[in-house]
Amino acid sequence: MKLLYKVIIGFCLINSITLWAGKREVMEVINRYTLAGKINGAVLVGNRDEVLCDTVVGWSDKEQKILNTNQTLFYGASITKTFTAVSVAQLVSQGQLTYTDKIKTYLPELGAYADNLTIHQLLTHTSGLPDYEVEMPVSDDVDTAIILQWLERENRLNFTPGSQHKYCNTGYILLAKIIERISGVSYEQYLTQHIFSKSGMQTTKLYTDKHQKGKEVAVGYDKNGNVDDFTLISYGDTGLLMTASDLYRYAKSLSKEEVLPYNQRELMYTSVKLTSGKEANYGYGWRVVTKHNHKIVYHKGGLNGLKSILWRDLEDGTVIVILTNYGDVLPTDALVEELYLAAQK
């Protein structure tokens, strides 16, 4: 049984909510958040091989009166890091690099600051590299080339590699460059050939030019409904435009051996240990936590008015995908927790 209906609430509109029999509890959570004006975007909840809910809510472009649909592309921001990490793990499994390799083996043009940095340290945010999103002067036209030029001018680290875990977008840009050097193709071509096609992802693509913002791409808004769209053009750390269904396919492929062998996934989902012996809740491209006595891996994304999360329970196969273009109004963690509990009923 499926129920389709529409409701208009303020700026938020439920376009086509699909309710699967037996999982009304999941839809009750979504409806409550929507009525409170906290959801505008796409929500997908799956458990093992069953999709419990695949919902789109509200406006993709409020000014042009374009509604979100299941084909609307949302800026996934840092969820892109999981794709970069999976790509690196693929190259490791093929024997083309190791996690302990020095990054200057592949990027010899980098300055002295990078002499002893390893692939492992970039993946786990333990490199000490300055984070461009925090430390680089603000500009409306930032891209990967500008970021790398800034990094070379800085020519420094913020701490001894391995001693701290500090989230760093810059390291994932370098990882994307390493993927390109080893594979001989662009980052987007690599993802298309080795992840998108193997996972059955149909519409996901890399944002590389401001002219890509067509009608199929959701516009970002702030909590007051004013345009708060993204302009950043970098990749590896961010950059992917995606749908909820594509992210679900990706998550499902990672639960099998379609993309990676099991032994590589175990490494990816192992929390990094610092030189002090302390563990951080981050593996290779995924945050790693224990919740409800289950091992959970997830990654959030956020830039301007866009917010996203890909959340996976490795024990029972629950997958939660949330993509929103009214990011400032959504309490992501609370919604994920309620959706997870509802999916178990």
172 phi and psi angles, rounded to 5 deg: -75, -25
Averaged pLDDT, 225-233: 95
* Residue 102 φ then ψ, to 5°: -75, 135
SS3 320: strand
What pLDDT, on a 0 to 100 scale, did the predictor assign at position 253?
96
Q: What pLDDT shows up at residue 48? A: 79
What pLDDT sits at residue 139? 78
pLDDT at 8 over 90: no
DSSP 216: T
CA distance 137 to 142: 10
Q: In the predicted model, what is the mean pLDDT of the chain? A: 92
Residues in a beta bridge with 75: 241
Whether 55 has a pLDDT exceeding 50, the answer reads yes
pLDDT (0 to 100) of residue 138 = 77
Q: What is the pLDDT of residue 223?
A: 92
Contact 46, 52 (CB under 8 A): yes
Tokens 């959701």: give the residue.
Answer: 218
Residue 185 has phi, psi (to 5 degrees) of: -130, 170
Handedness of CA 193, 194, 199, 205 (dihedral sign): negative
Mean pLDDT across 45-56: 91
The long-range contacts involving 137-146, CB below 8 angstroms and separated by at least 24 positions, are 140/231, 141/231, 141/233, 142/231, 142/232, 142/233, 142/234, 143/232, 143/233, 143/234, 144/173, 144/176, 144/233, 144/234, 144/235, 144/236
pLDDT of 211 reads 83
The total of other beta-carbon atoms located within 10 Å of residue 28's CB is 13
Q: Is the pTM of this model over 0.85?
A: yes
pLDDT reported for residue 21: 34
Q: What is the pLDDT of residues 159-198, one digit of tens each?
A: 999 999 999 999 999 999 999 999 999 999 999 999 999 9
Whether 296 and 311 have beta carbons less than 8 Å apart is answered as yes
Q: Does residue 259 register a pLDDT over 80?
A: yes
> Where is average pLDDT lowest: 25-34, 76-85, 239-248?
25-34
Tell me which residue of 94, 132, 81, 104 sits closest to 284, measured CA to CA: 81
- Note the pLDDT of residue 65: 96
* Ordered strands of the 41-47 beta sheet: 7-9, 12-16, 50-57, 41-47, 318-324, 306-313, 294-303, 287-291
82-103: pLDDT as tens digits = 999 999 999 999 999 999 999 9
pLDDT on residue 5: 35
pLDDT of 232 higher than 60: yes
Confidence of residue 12 (pLDDT cuts 50, 70, 90): very low
Closest C-alpha to 57, from 339, 336, 326, 331: 326
Mean pLDDT of 226-246: 96
What does the radius of gyration of the chain's CA atoms come to, in whole angstroms? 20
User: What does the DSSP assignment read for 126-145?
Assistant: -S-PPPHHHHSPP-SS-BHH
Amino acid code (one letter) for 170: T
In tens, the pLDDT along 261-320 reads 998 999 999 999 999 999 999 999 999 999 999 999 999 999 999 999 999 999 999 999
Q: pLDDT category, 212, cuts 50, 70, 90?
A: confident
> Which pLDDT score is estimated for 4?
37
Res. 151: pLDDT tops 90? yes
Residue 13 has pLDDT above 80, yes or no: no
pLDDT category at 1 given cuts 50, 70, 90 is: very low
Q: What is the pLDDT of residues 111-129, one digit of tens each?
A: 999 999 999 999 999 999 9
Say how far apart CA 161 and CA 165 lie, in whole Å: 9
pLDDT, average across residues 202-227: 93
